[in-house]
Structure 1
Amino acid sequence: MKAVGIIANLSKPDVRRISAEICSWFLDRGIRVYGQQELACGHGFTLGQPLPEVDLIMVLGGDGTFLTVAGMYGPAEIPLLGVNLGHLGFLTEVEMGDLESALEKLVQGDYQVEKRSMLSARVLRHGETVSQALVLNDVVIGKGPLARIIHLEVSVEGVSIGSYRGDGLIVATPTGSTGYSLSAGGPIVAPNVDLIVITPICPHTLNVRPIVVARDSPVTGDIKTCQQDTFMTLDGQQSFMLDCADRLEITNSEHHTSLVRLSGKNFFEILAKKIMAQNR
């Protein structure tokens, strides 16, 4: 390992101290460090700007921080390792108590890089593209603060699968299946399964259920609701207001996000620790 990047959620308690300790740990072993400018550790860089060549990026924060960084640097396929300073932290697998042993595994090369699928979301308005982005977790069509029903016509591979009325719709990757989709009643999917999960949010009917489709199946949502508080939300981090008659096209992306997985851990072990344990 020759170089690492460090990005952190600056609102987390003690994040600057933790970043400085990680920075010193790497520097003491002759590893170059590129730290987010505000952290004042190693060579500074501006968040969102291209990084010099690094072996991986350490992300300090919660899943929200991880998703933000994945949106910035995921398409470049720089491996990301999350250190959990948040609550659940399903994507940020390293807990603070395990930090030193995790760093040792990194320098020893005792880890694997897991490629996670991403989705491309595009909004068409009168035939023109008005918004386009990549997501690691999910694309959500949702409503504003008023209690109004959203009406969507949803198609897969150009074939209508139904008219959805309710609070909205989630289209998730396997990685995103443990996020908002899970809360809305969607299935938990192992990250190495090639599929897309379509989960309705509070449907106003008894016969609408989540649907699982192949990863390369295009999903289309036509907005039939003419109200000014319908939004598309990307990985819970960005939003875009939708108009009546907008079309949302969601397809598998050629890009991936690379996640560092330390040896001795797998998806089901993390699942048991971070989700199943909450029910005990």
Structure 2
Amino acid sequence: ATERHTTVSRCGLDLASMRSAYSDLLRLGSARVAATLGHATARTIDELAAPAGPGHAGAIASTEPETLRVFMVLLLNPLLLETERYLPILEKLVRLVLALPKVARALLIEWLRDSSSEDVAQVIRVLQRLVRLVMTDPKLKSLDCSPAVSLLGLLYETNLRFRMVPSSLFYNPHACSAINLEADLDRFRTMPAAFSMCKYPFLLPLRLKQQLLMISARRRMNDAVARGLMQRSQESIARAMAERAPREPVTTESSPFAYVAEAAAAAAAAAPAVLL
């Protein structure tokens, strides 16, 4: 028998063989096989999420390569492309990835970066579908897509440096169509802790970025006009008070405002005292 050639990536996994195994299983078209794989995926994620026990730090606190390889296998599971069906599993997996120690999370993204561009694109598509579902399906409004968007943000920052995939893969026009851009901008400015698409501009297609710039420019212009009107109003009031003041040179001691203060003081002095 001919020995099969394997190519082990930096993460210690033969990703090509793993992709082939996934494809072979799904190519069978067996609902039973898919269900078994789905149950195994869910059980593995539950084990990773299990709280730490005596003498055990827990998977999400681990920086061990063995644990991170499990995350790698899960992220590249093609079943997750059926996002509607596996949404609870995917949502939990995303939260677990973000809960990893920073150094472990960075290593996981580095491994993903060093894999094929197809693998990176698959993970991005899975996360984008989660965001789209939560943003557009009224039945899922109670769910939070912030973790998925945060993970997309980490991948986007990595992609800026290494150009793994086209930047357009990070656009999510379907999710963006579900928001009111002006209201989202207000939320971004007044509620920094709240979720806002403006906080993650990589999700916005070019057309929406242009609209956002136009909205911001219009608001700045309106603010400038309002400030100008306020200044003119204040100047008009000052001129009116100056015209009512005695005709004498206006000095620091005898300004319209000083005249009003002196008149008020004189009136107070002339008023009868209040008897207790």
Q: Flag whether TM exceeds 0.5 (same fold).
A: no
If the length of structure 1 is used for normalisation, what is the TM-score? Answer: 0.22
Query: Which one has the bigger strand percentage?
Result: 1
If the length of structure 2 is used for normalisation, what is the TM-score? Answer: 0.22
Query: Which one has the bigger helix percentage?
Result: 2
